[in-house]
Amino acid sequence: MDDRPNDADPAGLRWETVERRSSHACEAFEVLTDRVRLPGGSETTYDHVVEPPSVVVLPLVAPDADVTADPLRWPAPATPDGDDREPAADDADSDGGATDDRRVVLVEEWRQAVDRVNRGLPAGGLEPGEDPLAAARRELREETGFSAAGVEPLVSVEPANGIGNQLLHHVLARGCRPDAERDLDDDESIRVRVGRLGALREAVAAGRVWDGRTVTGVLYHRLHG
């Protein structure tokens, strides 16, 4: 599924692709090098990443599920002088929905590119021909061991279309229960955590959540969910 907008380019901004070759390919993505002709007539090269679409799941735990929310702590954003402030607990109450006690399933996963553990929403790539809602159920089950009573689309976005064609389908999963079997890939190192939705919103609003997929999903759900 790839329902992206198709701009007819009335302003004449389109680049013409003269030549395209693959510079690097791996299981997760491919890097293409294009020779392009710019609107002014000059030519240059442009490297970009091509990868399958992915899903990002916002999993809300069923109200009657026997699951305890962890008192998670989030790293504080850096101060202007570069010093880190003391981290604050994510369960403090404030305005903006921080008192929402609904529970949300999160994952902590090692991210080699930034050399640290990332905490955020479960996410993963679509299989060929797979529907985003079906992929959301599968990824939630495989990464966390939770199943969802229902799933619905939130929003689809291109998070970094200046360097690649990545497409993220954000999906809301309701009535989640820990009754499924996890099935991690060989290169996945994941710890499952459960937090309060209000606390996650507060951490996002305070700039303590670095994972862009999580920030997008949480904010969109807050505005339109």
The pLDDT tens digits for 111-133 are: 999 999 999 999 999 999 999 99
Query: Do 143 and 216 belong to one domain?
Result: yes
Q: Which domain does 144 fall in, by range?
A: 54-224
Task: Transcribe 7-67 into DSSP letters.
Answer: ---TTS-PPEEEEEEEEEE-SS-EEEEEEEE-TTS-EEEEEEEE---EEEEEEEEPTTS--
Residue 163, pLDDT score:
97
Query: Do 79 and 101 belong to one domain?
Result: yes
Residue 222, pLDDT score:
95
Give the residue among 202, 194, 174 at the shortest CA–CA distance from 97: 202
How does the average pLDDT of the chain come out, rounded?
Answer: 89
Query: Do 29 and 116 belong to one domain?
Result: no
Query: Do 171 and 107 belong to one domain?
Result: yes
Residue at 6 is within a domain: no
Name which residue leads in pLDDT, 192 or 7: 192
User: What average pLDDT does range 203-215 have in this prediction?
Assistant: 95
118 φ, ψ (degrees, to nearest 5):
-110, 135
pLDDT 10s digits, 61-107: 999 999 998 888 887 775 555 544 444 444 443 444 567 899 999 99
Query: Do 108 and 158 belong to one domain?
Result: yes
Last residue of a domain, one of 50, 71, 93: 50
Query: Do 162 and 101 belong to one domain?
Result: yes
The total number of structural domains that make up the chain? 2
